[in-house]
Amino acid sequence: MNQFKRILVAIDTRLKHHPIFDEALEIAKQTGATIKLMDIVPEFPWIVRVTLGNHEDVQRAIENEKKSRLAELANIARSQNVNVETHLASGKASTEIVQEVIRGNHDLTLAVAKGESSGRVGFFGRTALRLLRTCPCPLWLVAPGTTPKFKSILGCVETSTDNEVDAELNDLIYDLASTISDYHGGKLSILHTWSLWNERMLLSRMSSDEFNDLQAKCLDQESRLLDTFMEKHGASVDDANVHLFKGEPDKMISDFIRGEGIDLVVLGTVAKSGLGGEIAGNTSEKILGRIECSVLALKPSGFVSPIRLHT
């Protein structure tokens, strides 16, 4: 994780425990990275500003409380010889976080998977999902609560294509998943899923023998492509921790995560409409809709966030 030199930690200071802060401290002590601790004061809705006569006093009290808590956490970091800054913003959380990423040229962002006041059903909150789509640097979403122990790490790769973006993400996924696994003394698994193009249509237009032959050839091709990738990293498709499954990726990956007790999944997010835009890969969002574990989501180097700095 030596590539991480400027870490942004989006803290929700209302929480009692801050696993993302603890994880950032460990990374910083290992790599010499600097940390910026950030919290956001949400803007009061118009109706609150109209009906609450002292809303400005209330907002100032919230700001002071958050600044005080950020300062306490910063002192903890400094006591461990970690270079740390603090920043308090006001506005929509996901927008403010991404703008700070861009402004500070941060190369890793840590945030909770779901905030304390989130009204969204599921493991991941709305802010986390917006960050998944718009954050230009690696995004580590960690479950709130006590500091997690990443003992089982999964890297999800896409080796079926010759796309340069997929190739870049595959290498990043493998390198980070293996590094985190080594650091935490965890078990590393690598998984790739594949499917047969228009399988139902082919089944209706081919004999069973023809279809089975086609499927066997596709499986052989998928296996060889995954093996070629694994060889780059000193491993093999035949290794016990390398998995090749046929099926829809969101179902196969989520089933594997539950079955194997995965603590952290490392995956790529690629905009379907190109490298700029607010649409993350459909597969990634479907996976997040099915799982309940920490996620490290990566974007390719050419990704441009749709969120811009204030002028």
Residues 39 and 9: their CA atoms lie apart, in Å, by 9
250 shares a domain with 178:
yes
State how far the alpha carbon of 134 is from the alpha carbons of 2, 11, 125, 265, in Å: 24, 18, 15, 19
Query: In angstroms, how far apart are the furthest CA atoms of the chain?
Result: 77
Together in a domain, 129 and 190: no
Same domain, 281 and 177: yes
CA distance 122 to 183: 29
Within the chain, strands assigned E span: 6-10, 34-41, 84-90, 108-112, 139-142, 152-156, 187-194, 242-246, 264-268, 294-298
By the 8 A CB rule, do 36 and 83 touch?
Answer: no
Shared-domain flag, residues 78 and 172: no
Are residues 306 and 163 both part of a single domain?
yes
Q: Same structural domain for residues 107 and 179?
A: no
> Residue 7 sits in which domain range?
1-144
Tokens of 302: 């050419």
- Contact between residue 305 and residue 135 where contact means Cβ atoms under 8 Å apart: yes
Count of domains for the chain? 2
Same domain, 108 and 209: no
Provide the residue-wise pLDDT of the chain in tens; the chain has 311 residues: 778 999 999 998 888 888 899 999 999 998 999 999 999 998 766 566 667 666 677 778 889 999 999 999 999 999 999 999 999 999 999 999 999 999 999 999 999 988 766 667 678 888 999 999 899 999 999 877 656 678 999 999 999 988 898 999 999 999 999 999 998 899 999 999 998 888 888 878 888 888 889 989 999 999 999 999 999 999 999 999 999 999 989 999 999 999 999 999 999 986 444 444 433 456 788 888 899 899 999 999 888 899 988 65
Find the helix or strand (DSSP H, E) in which 307 lies: none
CATH number for 195: 3.40.50.620
Alpha helices in 13-134 (DSSP H): 19-31, 46-51, 55-79, 93-104, 126-134
Helices (H), 240-280: 249-260
Both 99 and 171 in one domain: the answer is no
211 and 118 inside one domain? no
Q: Which residues contact 133 (CB under 8 A, 6 or more apart)?
A: 269, 278, 279, 280
Residue 108 shares a structural domain with residue 58: yes
Residues 139 and 168 in one domain: no
Identity of the residue numbered 225: L
Look at residues 128, 144, 160 and tell me which one is the last residue of a structural domain.
Answer: 144
The phi and psi torsions of 70 (rounded to 5 degrees) equal -60, -40
